[in-house]
Amino acid sequence: MSTVDQNVDLAGLSRKVPSIQPPRRGWMRAVVPLTLLGAFAFILRDAIGELLTERIPVTLTRPVRLEGPGQTVTQRTLLTQAAGWIEPDPFPVHAPALAAGIVLEVLVQESDEVKEGQPIARLIDDDARIARDRARGKLTVSEAEVDLAAAELRIAEASFEAAIEVTAARDAARARHSGRVAAAAEAAAAVRGGVAEVSLAESEVQVQRALEEAGTSGPRQVEIADADLEVAAGRLSALRAAAALASAAAGEAAAELTRAERHLELRFEEQRLIDTGRARLARAKGAVDEARASLAEAMLALNRMVIRAPQDGIVLERLAVTGDELEAGGPVCSLYDPATLRVRVDVPQADVGALAPGQEAEILADSRTSRPYAGEVLRIVQLADIQKVTLEVQVRVLDTDNLLRPDMLAQVRFFSGAEPAAEGPVAQAIRRLAVPAELVRDGAVWVHQPEGNLAVRREIKTGPERRGPDGQRLIEVLEGLDWTVELIDRGRDRFPSDAPTAGVPITLTQQAGRAAGGDQP
């Protein structure tokens, strides 16, 4: 058991703690309650004002639809409503690169309007320019080869024409050779005759000498015989000289004939040169055609370094940036035609049976709350969505404008009593609105504004007066209303003449408005 030491001084263990002053928050104690009271008073004022504000009880009605040349009134029945999104009809169009390359610059931005053929991007074209210059050089060389081959062919043909003179020269040489050979033969025959005369003269000399020795002839006869021998010998020498000249002339003619015949043989070589020249010229012309095709291909590749819009449209999305490497066919951006849009809607399978192509529809989009877009069922896709238990229905937008963009969300209402699908946009274009004549005062009607539950005066542009099937007076509305507007029917006569532009507070009664052909509120 422990014991307490009575000699321990516990006061010595204590520490001096400085005094802490409380914060001064007097101003907050006043501001916070006043702020809360002010907010409560503001809310209470609105609530009391809402309770004290006099609201005029009214009933509502809808516009009447006029159709066709006969201006008949048609009742519409809402079949179903489903959500969807806007997309190009039938699909976005990609602007592709027609040649592979690296993007140098993209010339368009999203939402830019482009025309067919307008440049939208450029690729680096250094290689394409070099290829074009190389093709031009090859074309120049090929054209020069054509000129060279044509010149050689002209020379060969000229040489061939000159060979005709060689033939004439050969024939002339042959004739001269024949004449010279004949002259040589004649000279040789004359020599042989001279030899015979000399031999006869020698025999005569021997006979005269023998007679002189026999004493039967005188010396004079011997001298005459010797003289005749010398004359015959001289004539023989002259004949032999002439025969030698004739033989030499025949040899010269033979040489000329040989040369002429050799020249004539060269005609075949000249023909070969002509044929070769023609073949070379044809090959050179083929090379020119090939070079021109290569140049055209190089020019085409260079032109494809500029990517152009394939059609008129709006740039939906840029799919490439500077520095991207594109293959041939790679997209640079996507385009769409704002005049051709459709809505892709997922309709529950239970409601699809009431729909058919060509059926009337209305498209509600936040971009245009004043009136819906006119639509027409384009097609019902066959393949169902097993997870959502829906079928895809595509609805064409018939009166699209620049407020409607792809991928916007939209609500689509499908109605019965649609025009036949064959009439399509034509029938939609002639549909018009009408309102009961007594609702129109000074070119304006009162419409229901759900925000704040107010009646707002809206000016409209009116057309001629019509008659409904029940004789009701209707005034056609050309501008200012759409199918979704709810008109103030009974109760409008209580609106003050100086009603504020913000609207008159109203309350909807249970009493139904008149069924003027539209859906009842």
Lowest mean pLDDT among 3-12, 347-356, 426-435, 454-463: 3-12
Question: Residue 264 — pLDDT band, cuts 50, 70, 90?
Answer: low
Q: Where are the alpha helices (DSSP H) in 342-423?
A: 349-352
Does 17 have pLDDT greater than 80?
no
Cα(367)–Cα(411) distance, integer angstroms: 12
287-333: pLDDT as tens digits = 999 999 999 999 998 998 999 999 899 898 898 989 999 898 889 99
For 29-38, 69-78, 375-384, 413-422, which range has the lowest pLDDT when averaged over its residues?
69-78
pLDDT for the residue numbered 425: 40
Q: Evaluate if residue 421 carries a pLDDT over 70.
A: no
pLDDT value for 27: 58
What pLDDT, on a 0 to 100 scale, did the predictor assign at position 430?
40
Which helix (DSSP H) or strand (DSSP E) does residue 152 occupy? helix 126-214
Per-residue pLDDT for 75 more than 60?
no
Is the model's pLDDT at 265 over the cut of 70?
no
* The CATH fold of domain 56-92+336-508: Elongation Factor Tu (Ef-tu); domain 3 (2.40.30)
Residues 478-508: tens digit of each pLDDT: 888 877 788 888 887 788 777 777 778 888 8
Q: Is 260 exposed, middle or buried (0-12, 13-18, 19+ CB in 10 A)?
A: buried
- In the chain, where does the domain assigned CATH 2.40.30.170 lie? 56-92+336-508
Closest to 63 measured CA to CA, from 476, 405, 452: 476
Given a contact cutoff of 8 angstroms between Cβ atoms, the answer to whether 374 and 398 are in contact is yes
Exposure pattern of 237-252 as b/e (b: 16+ CB <10 Å)?
Answer: eebbebbeebbebbee
Q: Where are the alpha helices (DSSP H) in 308-446?
A: 349-352, 424-430
Does residue 95 register a pLDDT over 50? yes
Q: Are 307 and 122 in contact (CB under 8 A)?
A: yes
The rounded distance, in Å, linking the Cα atoms of 304 and 332 is: 13
DSSP 495: S
**pLDDT category of residue 520 using cuts at 50, 70 and 90:** very low
Asked whether the predicted pLDDT for residue 104 surpasses 70, the reply is yes
Q: How does pLDDT run across 26-57, given as a tens digit for each residue?
A: 556 666 677 777 776 666 665 555 555 677 88
- Note whether 399 and 436 are within 8 A (CB): no
pLDDT digits (tens, 9 = 90+) for 339-393: 889 999 999 988 888 888 988 888 998 888 777 888 999 999 888 888 888 899 9
State how far the Cα of 343 lies from the Cα of 359, in Å rounded to an integer.
14
Instruction: Band the pLDDT of 103: cuts 50, 70, 90.
Output: very high
Q: What CATH class is the domain 95-124+308-335?
A: mainly beta
More confident residue, 248 or 138: 138
82 and 348 in contact (C-beta within 8 Å)? yes
* Stretch(es) of the chain classified as CATH 2.40.50.100: 95-124+308-335
CATH 1.10.287.620 residue ranges in the chain?
Answer: 128-303
Class of domain 128-303: mainly alpha
CA distance 71 to 10: 110
Pairwise pLDDT comparison (100 vs 265), residue with the higher score:
100
pLDDT at 115: 92
**One-character DSSP codes across 316-343:** EEE---TT-EE-TT-EEEEEE-TTSEEE
Helix, coil or strand: residue 138:
helix
What are the residues facing 390 on neighbouring strands?
A: 348, 385
- What is the average pLDDT across 401-426? 70
In this prediction, residue 52 carries a pLDDT of: 54
21: pLDDT confidence band, cut at 50, 70 and 90? Answer: low
At what angle are helices 126-214 and 219-303 packed, to 10 degrees?
170
Res. 394: pLDDT tops 90: yes
pTM for the predicted model, two decimal places:
0.47
Phi, psi of 490 (to 5 degrees): -75, 140
Q: Which two tokens stand for residue 273?
A: 């040169």
pLDDT of residue 428: 42
CA 126: distance to chain centroid? Answer: 22
Mean pLDDT of 402-424: 72
**Using CA atoms, how far apart are residues 358 and 345, in angstroms rounded to an integer?**
15
Mean residue pLDDT of the chain comes to: 79
